[in-house]
Amino acid sequence: MDVGDPRSLDFTRLAHDTDAPLASSPVVIVDGLFARHVTPRTANVRFDIFVHLPADLRLARKIQRKCLRDGFPLDVLLRNYLNHRRAAHEQHVEPLRGGCDLVVSGDRPVGVWTAIAANEPIHKSRLLLTPEEYERWMIRDCARCGRRASKSAEWSDGPICRTCYERAMRVRGRCLCCGTDRLLPGRDTDGTPICRDCAGIVRDFFCDRCGFEGLLLGGRLCEHCTLADTLARLLDDGTGRITSAFLPLVKILLEMGRPKSRLIWLRNPNVVRLLRGLATGSIPLTHDGLHQETPWRTVTHLRDLLMDSGVLPPADRQLLPYQRWLTERLAIIEEPEHRQLLRHFAVWHQMRRLRAKAEKTPLGRSQTNHTKQEVTQAGAFLAWLASQGRDIGQCQQADIDAWHTESPATRRPSQSFLRWCMRTGRMPRLTLPPAVMTQDSEPLHQHRRLAILRRVL
Ligand SMILES: [Zn+2]
Ligand SMILES: [Zn+2]
Ligand SMILES: [Zn+2]
C-alpha cells in the first residue's frame, strides 16, 4: 500500500509513541501528513494545524529536498507523484483541512499566533491567510443555499457553507441508499439526505469519546460531551471534581436536550461567575445567598434550575420577587436602626407567614403586594415618628392617633408592623383605631337577601 494512504500506518504504535512523551512533557508536537489520525490514550487538549500549500510548491519543495539534497532519482519521484501521491493527497490529506482547528499558509513565515478557544467551532482558518488567499481558498457559492460564503466542507454535492453544514449535522433518519438509521449529512443527486458513507464524505462525524454521530466541536467531541466538560470545568470545587451537591444540576442540564442552547448559556460571563462562585463557596448555596446576586434574570433562571434539580429546596415563585424587592427597599433606608427593625419584621414575621401560606397554596400577586405595602408604611411610620423626636420604644397613644388621622387607608398597612412591635415588646401596648366598616348598617330583609342570592347563582 502507498505511504500516501493513512491505512499504511500503524496508528496503535503511533498512539503509543505519543503517550510516552505526554507522560513527562506538557506540550508534545506531532508532525506529519496524518498527525490528525494519531490519538494518544493520555488525556490531552489537542490543537490540530493544517499547513496549506499549493500543489506546485508542494512538488517543488519535495524535489528540492529529496532529489537535489538527498539524491533520490527524479524520474521515480515524479512517477510516484503522478500515479499515486497526487490523488492520495486529494483523497486522504485534503479532507483533513476541515477537521483542523487552524489552517496556516505554508509559503510565508508565520507571524503572530492567535489563540483560539477550545470550544469554538473549527472554522477559524482565516487567521493566517491573506484576504486574497482566504477569498481564493475558502469563499465559494454554497451548493445547498447558493450563498457566497466561507466553505466549511467540500462534499459530493459541492462546497457547503457553515449554516448548511450545521444544519446537515442535525439531519437524521433512514438512509434511502443503505437503509441505515443514522446521521444524513450528504445529498444524493435528487437532493435527498443520505448518510456519510453513501455520499462518499471522507471525514467522519463520530465523537471521539462517546461515538455519537453529529456536529463535532473542539477536540472532536460532540456537543453533549463538550457540555459535560464545560460543566465539569465550571463546577470544579478546586479538587478537580464537581462537588456532589451539584451533580443533580449537571444531570438535568445534560438530559435537557439541545445541548447547544446550554453551551450558549454557559458563555454568558454572569452565568460563569455565578457557577464558579457557587462551586467554590464564595456564593452560599442558599436562596438567601442568591438574593444578594445580580443580574436578577440570570439569577432567577439559575435558581429555577437549582430548584428543578432539587439542589435548592422549592420556594414559591411569588416569594422570590418579593425577597428581591425587600433587599432593594431596605437598602435605601438611611437610618440603620430602622433598617434593622424592618428587616427583623420582614424575616421573622412576614416571610414566615408567607412561607407557611405558600406551602399550602401558591401565593397570589395581591398577597405579596400587600406585604410590600406593610413594609413601606412601616418605614414611613418610623420616619414620621423620628420627625416627632421619638423612637418606637417611646411611641405614645397620641402618636398612633395622629398617624392614622391623615390618609388612614394608605397608612393602615402599617398596623401589622405596629401589632408585631407590641407583641414582641418593642413598643408600649397602645390601641389601634378599629377597621372602618364599609357594610350597610341596616340588616338585610329576607326578600333582598334572596334577590342577591338569585343574582349570584
Ligand atoms: Zn449554504
Ligand atoms: Zn447510507
Ligand atoms: Zn460525545
The domain total for the chain is: 3
| Omega before residue 295 within 30° of 0, cis | yes
Distance of CA 165 from the midpoint of ligand 1 (Å): 7
Quick check: 214 and 169 in contact, CB under 8 A?
Answer: yes
The more confident residue out of 243 and 249 is: 249
The more confident residue out of 47 and 370 is: 370
Residues with CB under 5 A from ligand 2 (ion): 175, 177-178, 195, 198
Q: What is the CA radius of gyration of the chain?
A: 36
Residue 196 has pLDDT above 70, yes or no: yes
Tell me the residue type at 357.
K
Whether 120 maps to a domain, the answer reads yes
* 37-41, 44-48, 145-149, 236-240: segment of lowest average pLDDT: 44-48
**What are the cell numbers at 6?**
493513512
The single-letter DSSP state of residue 349 is I
Residues in the chain: 457
Distance of CA 316 from the midpoint of ligand 2 (Å): 52
Share of the chain above pLDDT 70, in %: 89
Clarify whether residues 189 and 102 are in a common domain: no
Distance of CA 162 from the midpoint of ligand 1 (Å): 7
Quick check: 205 and 216 in contact, CB under 8 A?
Answer: yes
The more confident residue out of 208 and 434 is: 208
Whether 10 maps to a domain, the answer reads yes
* 444 band by pLDDT with thresholds 50, 70 and 90: low
Distance of CA 157 from the midpoint of ligand 1 (Å): 11
Distance of CA 225 from the midpoint of ligand 3 (Å): 4
For 26-83, give the DSSP string: S-----STTGGG---SS------EEEE--HHHHHHHHIIIIIIIT---HHHHHHHIII
Cα 205 to Cα 149: distance, rounded to the nearest angstrom: 22
Q: Which ligand is nearest to the CA of 223?
A: 3
Tell me the residue type at 377.
Q
Distance of CA 47 from the midpoint of ligand 3 (Å): 18
Q: Which of 210, 179, 175 is nearest to 195 (CA)?
A: 175
Residues with CB under 5 A from ligand 3 (ion): 207, 209-210, 212, 222, 225
Residue 115 has pLDDT above 60, yes or no: no
Whether 217 maps to a domain, the answer reads no
Residue that terminates a domain, selected from 113, 129, 145: 129
Q: Which ligand is nearest to the CA of 140?
A: 1
Whether 167 maps to a domain, the answer reads yes
Residue 119 has pLDDT above 50, yes or no: no
* 22 band by pLDDT with thresholds 50, 70 and 90: confident
Clarify whether residues 237 and 258 are in a common domain: yes
Q: Which of 396, 412, 395, 394 is nearest to 404 (CA)?
A: 412
The more confident residue out of 101 and 49 is: 49
Distance of CA 205 from the midpoint of ligand 2 (Å): 14
Residues with CB under 5 A from ligand 1 (ion): 142, 144-145, 161, 164
Q: Which ligand is nearest to the CA of 208?
A: 3
Clarify whether residues 31 and 119 are in a common domain: yes
Q: Which ligand is nearest to the CA of 181?
A: 2
Residue that terminates a domain, selected from 260, 281, 314: 314
Q: Which ligand is nearest to the CA of 201?
A: 2
Cα 152 to Cα 158: distance, rounded to the nearest angstrom: 11
Helix 365-387 with 319-331: angle, nearest 10 deg: 20
Clarify whether residues 84 and 169 are in a common domain: no
Kindly state the average pLDDT of the residues 178-186: 96
Distance of CA 227 from the midpoint of ligand 3 (Å): 9
Clarify whether residues 113 and 148 are in a common domain: no
Kindly state the average pLDDT of the residues 407-420: 91
Number of other residues whose CB lies within 10 A of the CB of residue 251: 12
Tell me the residue type at 17.
D
Residue 229 has pLDDT above 90, yes or no: yes
Distance of CA 168 from the midpoint of ligand 1 (Å): 10
Whether 227 maps to a domain, the answer reads yes
Q: Which ligand is nearest to the CA of 212?
A: 3
**What are the cell numbers at 402?**
395622629
Residue 187 lies in domain: 137-203
- The dihedral region occupied by 179, where left means phi > 0, alpha psi between -120 and 50, and beta the remainder, is left
Whether 450 maps to a domain, the answer reads no
Distance of CA 281 from the midpoint of ligand 1 (Å): 46
Give the model's pLDDT for residue 122.
Answer: 38
Residue 98 has pLDDT above 80, yes or no: no
Give the model's pLDDT for residue 384.
Answer: 94
Most confident of 27-36, 273-282, 291-300: 273-282
Cβ burial, residue 27 (10 Å; 0-12/13-18/19+):
exposed
Distance of CA 146 from the midpoint of ligand 1 (Å): 6
* 94 band by pLDDT with thresholds 50, 70 and 90: confident
Helix (H, G, I), strand (E, B), or coil: what is residue 322?
helix
CB contact set of 195 (below 8 Å; sequence gap of 6+):
175, 177, 178, 180, 182, 183, 184, 185, 186
**What are the cell numbers at 52?**
496549506
Distance of CA 213 from the midpoint of ligand 1 (Å): 21
Phi and psi, residue 75, nearest 5°: -65, -35
* 132-141, 256-265, 340-349, 407-416: segment of lowest average pLDDT: 132-141
Whether 94 maps to a domain, the answer reads yes
Quick check: 174 and 195 in contact, CB under 8 A?
Answer: no
* 186-200, 236-250, 321-335, 419-433: segment of lowest average pLDDT: 321-335
Residue 132 has pLDDT above 80, yes or no: no
For 262-302, give the DSSP string: HHHHTTSHHHHHHHHHHHHTSS-SSHHHHHT-S-HHHHHHH
Clarify whether residues 71 and 162 are in a common domain: no
Q: Which of 310, 308, 272, 312 is nearest to 291 (CA)?
A: 312
* 230 band by pLDDT with thresholds 50, 70 and 90: very high
Distance of CA 220 from the midpoint of ligand 3 (Å): 8
Give the model's pLDDT for residue 112.
Answer: 36
The single-letter DSSP state of residue 307 is H
Mean pLDDT of the chain: 84
The more confident residue out of 294 and 118 is: 294
Cα 195 to Cα 183: distance, rounded to the nearest angstrom: 6
Q: Which ligand is nearest to the CA of 163?
A: 1
Distance of CA 215 from the midpoint of ligand 2 (Å): 18
Over residues 307-318, the pLDDT tens digits come to: 888 899 877 777
* 359 band by pLDDT with thresholds 50, 70 and 90: low
Give the model's pLDDT for residue 456.
Answer: 64
Whether 146 maps to a domain, the answer reads yes
Share of the chain above pLDDT 90, in %: 41
Clarify whether residues 25 and 120 are in a common domain: yes
**What are the cell numbers at 41?**
490514550
Clarify whether residues 113 and 22 are in a common domain: yes
Cα 77 to Cα 79: distance, rounded to the nearest angstrom: 5
Helix (H, G, I), strand (E, B), or coil: what is residue 293?
coil
Quick check: 189 and 195 in contact, CB under 8 A?
Answer: no
Quick check: 392 and 421 in contact, CB under 8 A?
Answer: yes
Q: Which ligand is nearest to the CA of 187?
A: 2
Q: Which residues pair with 161 in a beta bridge?
A: 151
Tell me the residue type at 315.
A
Clarify whether residues 71 and 50 are in a common domain: yes
Distance of CA 222 from the midpoint of ligand 2 (Å): 21
CB contact set of 408 (below 8 Å; sequence gap of 6+):
433, 436
Number of other residues whose CB lies within 10 A of the CB of residue 241: 11
Residue that terminates a domain, selected from 170, 203, 236: 203
Cα 64 to Cα 56: distance, rounded to the nearest angstrom: 12
Clarify whether residues 96 and 47 are in a common domain: yes
Cα 215 to Cα 222: distance, rounded to the nearest angstrom: 6
Over residues 31-88, the pLDDT tens digits come to: 888 888 887 877 767 778 888 888 898 999 999 999 999 999 999 999 999 988 888 8
Kindly state the average pLDDT of the residues 327-342: 90
Clarify whether residues 284 and 263 are in a common domain: yes
Q: Which ligand is nearest to the CA of 209?
A: 3
Clarify whether residues 173 and 295 are in a common domain: no
Distance of CA 409 from the midpoint of ligand 3 (Å): 64
